[in-house]
Structure 1
């Protein structure tokens, strides 16, 4: 299994997280890129770090977007 290139941090019940998840899932499926998601409410450190910015996406370990995921920008970052 490959290491995910995209990480999505969010929480349950967050409508922006739901929207971001749809974009990330679609782009990653189209490009054959692995991704994963973490619920910040499962980790106090993640809550402290990202509570006011979720959803947050990382690409290759670096913060890419927060609040909204721009599909074109994500595709470009992933080489698609």
Structure 2
């Protein structure tokens, strides 16, 4: 098959979820990194509040902030900008 007709995979839709709680300085720091990286890459992200979701509270209360990428735990406590960018661009 000629390289002119080679199929390329469509870009994968990525998503980031920040799980935290109000008045949490680490959560605010994580949000700033997520807003920057996701904004630059055009990746959607959402915030989930453990004080409003008992199952999230039970699962993550000792680790917040927790960052999920595509529904899988990526990191917790501190978000490394370069590590998040690398994950979202692979």
If the length of structure 1 is used for normalisation, what is the TM-score? 0.93
Task: Report the aligned-residue RMSD.
Answer: 1.4
Matched, 1:64 2:74: yes
Q: Helix, strand or coil: the match of 2:63? A: coil
Runs of 4 or more off by more than 4 Å in structure 1? none
Q: Distance in 1 between matches of 2:87 and 2:20?
A: 20
Q: Mark the runs of 5 or more structure 2 residues left unpaired by the alignment.
A: 1-12
Q: 1:65 to 1:41 in 2, by over 3 A?
A: same
Cα deviation for residue 61 of structure 1 reads 1.1
If the length of structure 2 is used for normalisation, what is the TM-score? 0.83
Q: Distance in 2 between matches of 1:36 and 1:63?
A: 14
Q: Count residues with an aligned counterpart.
A: 78
Q: Helix, strand or coil: the match of 2:27? A: helix
Question: Is the radius of gyration larger for structure 1 or structure 2?
Answer: 2
Q: Distance in 2 between matches of 1:18 and 1:66?
A: 13
